[in-house]
Structure 1
């Protein structure tokens, strides 16, 4: 049995085909442009296969409520060409098969929980810190969703006493995304993170904001493990800085596993999202 998977990111789409063992067999990637151009490439890839189901993890915000009139739509995304696009509807019009639909970070959380760095645990989190910040949670083995999907990157954080940056988020300013995502580095220093020395104090600021968010997620959701991915996490020493900040901010208020077991990097690296989408497709077959 073959299933399809899409990890729809704001920068690129990854499409893959896998099997019932959640193994990836073939994949392609291409830039995210307009829906018309991008979906033409999606269809060209999947038209070659007889698929039992497709799992989709998409950038958002998206509508995840099955009883909503806009279920399956991309909503008020900053990628204006995709605003109010009926992503799931167009996929179903092309392929009359079961489909799983969630955010890209929820898909990554599912992949890491089922087969990656959080395998065997029932309550986990995945957070990516890159061009933006997003997070997904697995609670009792299921993706956490309510009236919508979590937007944990927009948790407000208190500024570091030596950081005078106001944040780039047009909605909230000093939310986690506004203060710690990649564009905040350029906003402070006028150059990209890859050009900044790992010992620069800006990384201490970023670690402080991420540590605040992880402390909040910990006391609210009480996950068994938090997996941290994205480009910012590839900065040398960043994970250790975050562990130090998190430990200080949590202040032993609630018990958590040893920090080296609690805060970890992805088992699948950059493939967490597409792996989760394969799993989502197989779950759709089972339903």
Structure 2
């Protein structure tokens, strides 16, 4: 069985094929340009691959309601040319196979639940911390949708006591993304995170905001695993700082033995940088299963 997968990012598209066991057999990546050009390039990659289904994990916001006339569309994105674009429709029309569709972070959460750090669990939450912050939620063995889909990168939090930065989110200012995504780090400190030393005060402040969000997620959703991916989380010194702050925030209130070992509860992706593409593969497998 050959399944197609697309991790459709705002900066680049990653296309690949894989097996029903989650093994990635081939991949390519290319810049995200005008929508017609980008989807045509993706479709051309799959043209000779004989895929049986396709999974797409995309940047958003997205319309994920199958009953909606704009199901499969990218909706209010500020990315030029992509607002209200029928991404799924164009791909399905060209490739003519069953297709699964979700946010890129929901796809990553799905991949981690199926083959990664949350394998065997019926719930997890996945944060990607990079150019933006996205949150995917998997609970009760299902990806969470609702009015739209989780937008946990825009939750509001308590500010760090030493932080005077106004925030970088064009919608909300000092939401999680506005305070802790890569561009916020660069704007606050005058240089990107990659050039800051491990003991720079930026990382203690970064850990504060991520721990605030994770604490709220634990109290609201009670996930059995918290997974932190994305470029900013390549700063491995963040993990112990975040775990310590979450422990302090919870203050013994949540009575679970799992929280006695935060090293194995708040973790990097088990699938590494493959989480998004493998998750899209899982969406394709699910679409094929649903068809039969």
TM-score (normalised: structure 1): 0.98
Q: Which residue of 2 aligns with 1:259?
A: 262
SS of alignment partner, residue 240 of structure 2: helix
How far residue 37 of structure 1 moved from its aligned partner, in angstroms, is 2.1
Q: Which residue of 1 aligns with 2:47?
A: 47
Q: Which residue of 1 aligns with 2:16?
A: 16
Within the alignment, does 1:101 sit opposite 2:104 as a pair? no
Q: Tell me, in whole angstroms, the C-alpha distance in 1 between the residues paired with 2:65 and 2:102.
A: 10
Q: CA RMSD in A?
A: 1.0
Contact 1:158/1:174, CA 8 A, preserved across alignment? no
Change (3 A) 1:15 1:157: same
Gaps of 5+ in 1: none
After superposition, where does 1:127-206 map in structure 2 within 5 Å?
Answer: 127-206=127-206
Contact 2:59/2:103, CA 8 A, preserved across alignment? yes
How far residue 31 of structure 1 moved from its aligned partner, in angstroms, is 0.9
SS of alignment partner, residue 17 of structure 1: strand
How far residue 110 of structure 1 moved from its aligned partner, in angstroms, is 0.5
SS of alignment partner, residue 82 of structure 1: coil
Q: Tell me, in whole angstroms, the C-alpha distance in 1 between the residues paired with 2:114 and 2:264.
A: 17
After superposition, where does 1:110-125 map in structure 2 within 5 Å?
Answer: 110-125=110-125
How far residue 218 of structure 1 moved from its aligned partner, in angstroms, is 0.2
How far residue 52 of structure 1 moved from its aligned partner, in angstroms, is 1.1
How far residue 141 of structure 1 moved from its aligned partner, in angstroms, is 1.1
Which of 273, 278, 282 is the equivalent residue of 1:279?
282
How many pairs does the alignment contain?
287
Q: Tell me, in whole angstroms, the C-alpha distance in 1 between the residues paired with 2:11 and 2:109.
A: 19
Q: Tell me, in whole angstroms, the C-alpha distance in 2 between the residues paired with 1:255 and 1:225.
A: 15
How far residue 279 of structure 1 moved from its aligned partner, in angstroms, is 1.1
SS of alignment partner, residue 68 of structure 2: coil
Q: Tell me, in whole angstroms, the C-alpha distance in 2 between the residues paired with 1:255 and 1:264.
A: 20
Q: Tell me, in whole angstroms, the C-alpha distance in 2 between the residues paired with 1:78 and 1:249.
A: 35
Q: Tell me, in whole angstroms, the C-alpha distance in 1 between the residues paired with 2:154 and 2:96.
A: 36
After superposition, where does 1:211-222 map in structure 2 within 5 Å?
Answer: 211-222=211-222
How far residue 255 of structure 1 moved from its aligned partner, in angstroms, is 2.4
How far residue 180 of structure 1 moved from its aligned partner, in angstroms, is 0.4
Within the alignment, does 1:57 sit opposite 2:57 as a pair? yes
How far residue 250 of structure 1 moved from its aligned partner, in angstroms, is 1.2
SS of alignment partner, residue 280 of structure 1: helix
Q: Which residue of 2 aligns with 1:35?
A: 35
Q: Tell me, in whole angstroms, the C-alpha distance in 2 between the residues paired with 1:255 and 1:140.
A: 20
Q: Tell me, in whole angstroms, the C-alpha distance in 2 between the residues paired with 1:77 and 1:119.
A: 32
Q: Which residue of 2 aligns with 1:269?
A: 272
Q: Tell me, in whole angstroms, the C-alpha distance in 1 between the residues paired with 2:264 and 2:62.
A: 32
Q: Tell me, in whole angstroms, the C-alpha distance in 2 between the residues paired with 1:201 and 1:82.
A: 37
Gaps of 5+ in 2: none
SS of alignment partner, residue 14 of structure 1: strand
CA-to-aligned-CA distance 1:166-192 (integer Å, 9 cap, x gap): 110011111100000000111112111
Q: Which residue of 1 aligns with 2:233?
A: 233
- Runs of 4+ more than 6 Å apart: none
TM-score (normalised: structure 2): 0.96
Q: Tell me, in whole angstroms, the C-alpha distance in 2 between the residues paired with 1:48 and 1:147.
A: 38
